[in-house]
Amino acid sequence: MLKKQINPKKTVGKRLLSVLILLTMLAGMLAGCKADQDTMQHELNILDDNYRNFYEIFVASFYDSDGDGMGDLNGVTEKLDYIQDMGFTGIWLMPVMPAPSYHKYDTTDYRDIDEAYGTLEDFENLLRECHERGIYVVIDFVINHSSNQHPWFLEACDYLSNLPEGQEPDAQECPYVEYYHFSREQVNSSYAEIPGGGWYYEAVFYYTQPDLNWENEAVREEFDEITKFWVDLGVDGFRVDAAMHFNDSDTEENLEILNRLYTCGLSVNPDFYMVSEVWANESTVAKYYESLTPSMFNFDTCSAEGKLVRAAKGSSDATKLVHAMLDYQETFSAENPDYIDAPFLTNHDQVRVANNLQSNENDLKMACGLLMMMSGNPFVYYGEEIGMSSKGTKDENKRLPMLWSDTDKIGMTEKPEGADDGIESAFPAVDEQLEDPNSLLNYYKRALRLRNENPEIARGTITIVESLCEGDQAVITKTYDGSTIGIVYNTSDDTLELSLAGTELTDMELRGELTLNGERVTLAEDVLQMPPQSVCILK
Ligand code: CA
C-alpha cells in the first residue's frame, strides 16, 4: 500500500492529483528501473509538503526546444520526464524575467518572461506540467537590485539629469528617484555615475545592477504586488537572491524584508515556500532564520572546503560531518523551529563539484550519498548528476550546456557568450550514463529514490549514536512522525564491520543502501558489513 500523508492545508484537487502522480510513478517503477533490479527497493513515500529534492536549472544552458541554440522554458518542459525520473520533486529556475545579460540577474520587467526563454504562456504551461507531476517550481527573485535598463531607473536618471542647477529632486514629480540610492557625491567605490553625469547611484555588485532602496515603502509595496503576481500565476516559491545585501549595514531590516515577502506569498498560497541566499558562515545563516522564513542555503556544506566535499574525499571524517549536522539542527531550529535546511554541493556561482573532487568518480558518488542523507531540501545544480566540469573561476564556465548526448545534438544549447572553448567533461553524457547501472547518474537516481522512500531522511530529528562513531564511521538516527531510521556512514576506503548489538539499531533491518558499484551491504546477527564509501539505512 502506498502511504500518503496530506497536509491539511492542501485542496482536494491537489490531493487527487498527488495520488495520480504517485500511481504514475509506481507504474513507471514497475515498468523499468533496470539499474535497480538487484538492489532492495521499497515503495515511494513522497509526502506533499515543502520538503523537496530540488534541481537548479540555468534555462539558457539546459534544453533548446526550437533549435535556435538558446535553452528555453519549453525545453525545461520537454525534460520534465527526465527530472521526475531522477527523483527530483522541485526545480529552481535561475532568473527567467526579462534582462539584458546572459545570466539575467538584472531584471528589466518584474512581470514577464525573457523573450529568449519564451512567453508567459510557456511559463504557465511549464507550471501546469510540473504540478501534474507533483514538482514544485521555485523561481529566482532578484530584488536587491534591478537592471540599469529598468524603466524605474531610466526614468529616475532622465529626471535627475534634467534637474535645473541647485534644485533638489522631488519624489512627487518622479517617485523613482527614491527607488534607488542616488547621490550628488560618489559616497563610496560601490557608487557609479548616471549616464548623464552629475549624479551617482549605489551598485554593490556591478554598475548594471543598481541597488533598490528597500527603506522606501513604495518599493516594498511594488514587490508585494509582484510577489502576488507570480504566486497567483502558480509559482510555488522564490529563491531570494542576495538577501544579505538589501541593506548592507542593517541585518534587522533584511530579516524584516524577508518576512514581509514570505508573509505576502503565504497570503496567496498557504503552502508558499522560500529559500534565501545568505552567502555566509553558519552563525550568520542562523541569524537569518530569525526572519521565520523556511530555508536558507547552507553554505557550510558546499564547495571545495565545505563539510560534504571534505567528508567525501576523506579530508574530514564522517564523525565530524554528523556532528555538524546535529549542530545545524540545534543552531537553526533555535531561531526558527520550522526551518528546512537547504544543503548543496555547488551552485551556479561556484566551481563545479567535479573539479573540487578531481573528477574522482567514487568521491563524487560519496558526495552525492552524503548530500542525500542530509535533513531538509537538497539542491542539485544541473549537470552535477553527470559530473560536468567547470574551468577556473569565470562564471560563464560554470554554466555550460547540459551534456545530453555526445552524438545526438538535438536540444543541446550553445555555450554562454564568454565561456571558454573546449571544456571537457570527464564523464559521459546523459544518454550514455542512463544505460550504465554503475554510472554517477544512476547513483544519483538511487540516492534520490532512497530519499523518496524514507521521509525520515529529510524531516527526522537527528540523534548521534556516539558509541558507534569513530573517524570515518558514523551512525545517527532520524525520527519523524513516530518512525525512526538509522543511517550508517562508512566514508573510508575500507570495508567496515560494525556490531550493532546493544545499541538503538539492534532490532532494525536493512532498509536501503548506497554503494559505489553495486557492492552489497549485509546485516547478519547484528553485525553490519559495509563496502568502502557506502551509506545504509536501517529501520
Ligand atoms: Ca530555444
- Please write the tens of the pLDDT for every residue from 387-416: 999 999 999 999 999 999 999 999 999 999
Instruction: For residue 118, report the distance from its CA to the centre of ligand 1, in Å.
Output: 8
The residue count of the chain comes to: 539
Instruction: For residue 348, report the distance from its CA to the centre of ligand 1, in Å.
Output: 20
Cβ atoms of residues 442 and 433 within 8 Å: yes
For residue 95, name the pLDDT band (cuts at 50, 70, 90): very high
Cβ atoms of residues 395 and 349 within 8 Å: yes
Report the phi/psi class of residue 147: left, alpha or beta, with left for phi > 0 and alpha for psi in -120 to 50.
beta
* Catalytic-residue membership of 421: no
State the sign of the Cα–Cα–Cα–Cα dihedral 220, 222, 225, 226.
negative
Cβ atoms of residues 332 and 301 within 8 Å: no
Q: What is the pLDDT of residues 412-453, one digit of tens each?
A: 999 999 999 999 999 999 999 999 999 999 999 999 999 999
Helical segments of 203-314, H only: 217-233, 251-268, 282-288, 307-313
pLDDT at 196: 83
Going across the sheet that includes 496-499, the strands are 496-499, 527-530, 522-524
Q: How far is CA 297 from CA 117, 175, 291, 436, 491, in A?
A: 26, 34, 14, 32, 24
Residue whose cell numbers read 523573450 = 115
Average pLDDT over residues 307-324: 97
Cβ atoms of residues 93 and 57 within 8 Å: yes
Please, what is the angle between helix 12-31 and helix 120-132, to 10°?
70
Going across the sheet that includes 90-93, the strands are 295-296, 273-276, 237-240, 136-141, 90-93, 54-57, 379-381
Q: How far is CA 81 from CA 88, 137, 403, in A?
A: 10, 15, 16
| Segment (H or E) for 76 | helix 73-78
List, in sequence order, every residue forming a beta bridge with 476; answer none if it has no partner.
464, 487
Instruction: For residue 100, report the distance from its CA to the centre of ligand 1, in Å.
Output: 17
Considering 241, 300, 317, 385, which one is annotated as catalytic?
241
pLDDT of residue 12 exceeding 70: no
Q: How far is CA 231 from CA 16, 33, 117, 261, 382, in A?
A: 21, 36, 20, 11, 24
Helical segments of 373-439, H only: 430-435
Query: 164: which 3 cell numbers?
Result: 535645473
Instruction: For residue 91, report the distance from its CA to the centre of ligand 1, in Å.
Output: 19
Average pLDDT over residues 165-187: 96
pLDDT at 205: 96
At 432, the amino acid letter reads E
Considering 72, 129, 140, 277, which one is annotated as catalytic?
277
* Catalytic-residue membership of 271: no
Please, what is the angle between helix 217-233 and helix 251-268, to 10°?
40
Q: Which domains does the chain have, with CATH numbers?
A: 54-146+214-456 (3.20.20.80), 151-202 (no CATH), 459-538 (2.60.40.1180)
Query: 267: which 3 cell numbers?
Result: 497570503
Q: How far is CA 54 from CA 57, 86, 297, 343, 380, in A?
A: 10, 11, 12, 10, 6
Please, what is the angle between helix 120-132 and helix 217-233, to 10°?
60
Task: Calculate ∠ Cα 217-221-223, nearest 5°.
Answer: 120
Instruction: For residue 200, report the distance from its CA to the centre of ligand 1, in Å.
Output: 38
Cβ atoms of residues 430 and 405 within 8 Å: yes
Cβ atoms of residues 449 and 41 within 8 Å: yes
Cβ atoms of residues 28 and 85 within 8 Å: yes
At 378, the amino acid letter reads P
Instruction: For residue 69, report the distance from its CA to the centre of ligand 1, in Å.
Output: 6
Instruction: For residue 409, report the distance from its CA to the centre of ligand 1, in Å.
Output: 13
Where are the strands (E) in 229-365, listed by range? 237-240, 273-276, 295-296
DSSP state of 498: E
Q: What is the pLDDT of residues 22-34, one digit of tens each?
A: 555 555 444 444 4
pLDDT of residue 2 exceeding 50: no
Number of other CB atoms surrounding residue 458 within 10 Å: 24
Q: Mean pLDDT across the chain, nearest whole number?
A: 94
Report the phi/psi class of residue 234: left, alpha or beta, with left for phi > 0 and alpha for psi in -120 to 50.
left
Helical segments of 405-492, H only: 430-435, 440-453, 456-459
Instruction: For residue 429, report the distance from its CA to the centre of ligand 1, in Å.
Output: 20
Query: CA nearest 505: which of 539, 531, 535?
Result: 539
Query: 148: which 3 cell numbers?
Result: 540599469
pLDDT of residue 191 exceeding 70: yes
List, in sequence order, every residue forming a beta bridge with 381; answer none if it has no partner.
56
Number of other CB atoms surrounding residue 483 within 10 Å: 13
| Segment (H or E) for 355 | helix 353-356
Measured distance CA(273)–CA(136) in Å, rounded: 9
Instruction: For residue 434, report the distance from its CA to the centre of ligand 1, in Å.
Output: 25
Query: CA nearest 96: which of 134, 68, 132, 122?
Result: 122
Instruction: For residue 104, report the distance from its CA to the centre of ligand 1, in Å.
Output: 16
What percent of the chain lies above the pLDDT cut of 70?
A: 93
| Three-state secondary-structure class, residue 293 | coil
Q: How far is CA 504 from CA 318, 374, 484, 500, 509, in A?
A: 19, 20, 10, 8, 12
Q: What is the pLDDT of residues 478-516, one digit of tens each?
A: 999 999 999 999 999 999 999 999 999 999 999 999 999
DSSP state of 416: P
Average pLDDT over residues 62-83: 98
Instruction: For residue 117, report the distance from its CA to the centre of ligand 1, in Å.
Output: 7
**pLDDT-wise least confident of 25-39, 203-217, 226-240, 322-336:** 25-39
Measured distance CA(284)–CA(282) in Å, rounded: 6
Average pLDDT over residues 18-43: 55
